[in-house]
Amino acid sequence: MDAPQPETRQKARRVVERQVMYLRRLVDDLLDAERARRGTLQLETRAIDFRSIVADVVSMFRARVQERGVDVAKEAPTRPVVVRGDPVRLQQVVANVLDNAVKHTPPGGSVRVHLATRAAHAVLTVRDTGDGIPPDVLPHIFEPFRHHGNGGGLGIGLNVARRLVELHRGRIQAHSAGAGQGAEFVIALPMAER
């Protein structure tokens, strides 16, 4: 930070800001995991257009994925995808799943975020061309402190995502053909009744 060149200071500042944001999310996830385990995590639900949640999270990740050289594309219906949920918690779910995909996708890879409606559910699919998930890890991928590969992290984000999805009466699944084959996470949330 004491470097005489402004560009060096700016680069150092961005690194520090990114690390502080990462640590904040990690602490928040740890607290949320414990609250969910105890059954004390509260949701503030209302009817929301899930498209805006997904769009906001993808937009938040744009700079990071460009830095890493990962291509992220989003598809969503033109009509509202209304679910009953807590916007802050649903944003956390999408961010945790997208963060996982980006972490495990090497430069030159891609992440596809696809939102659709199926059988009275909003279905969000996040598919990456990254590390993939070994068959022995796949059944345990949503357990706390379970992680694989070189993406770092403590294995909390996907556990929190699962718990939050379940609190929204939804489900989350992970699929992968194995190591080096990429991964796909599918989140299904009930559509709001009209």
Express each pLDDT in 50-74 by its tens digit.
999 999 999 988 877 888 899 999 9
pTM for this prediction: 0.81
R_g (Cα) of the chain, nearest Å? 17
The residue assigned the tokens 């993406």 is 151
Structure tokens belonging to residue 168: 């929204």
Report which of residues 98 and 24 the model is more confident about.
Answer: 98
Q: What's the confidence (pLDDT) of residue 47?
A: 96
Express each pLDDT in 143-156 by its tens digit.
876 665 555 555 68
Mean pLDDT of 34-63: 86
Q: Do the beta carbons of residue 170 and residue 188 sit within 8 Å? A: yes
The residue assigned the tokens 């150092």 is 12
Q: What's the confidence (pLDDT) of residue 74?
A: 96
Q: How far apart are CA 93 and CA 141, in angstroms?
A: 15
Mean pLDDT value across the chain:
86
Q: How far apart are CA 51 and CA 77, in angstroms?
A: 8
Indicate the class that CATH gives domain 44-190: alpha beta
Burial class (CB in 10 A: 0-12, 13-18, 19+), 32: buried
| Domain extents in the chain | 44-190
Q: Do the beta carbons of residue 126 and residue 113 sit within 8 Å? A: yes
Q: What's the confidence (pLDDT) of residue 73?
A: 93
Q: What's the confidence (pLDDT) of residue 68?
A: 83
Structure tokens belonging to residue 138: 């796949």
Express each pLDDT in 82-125 by its tens digit.
999 999 999 999 999 999 999 999 999 999 999 999 989 999 99
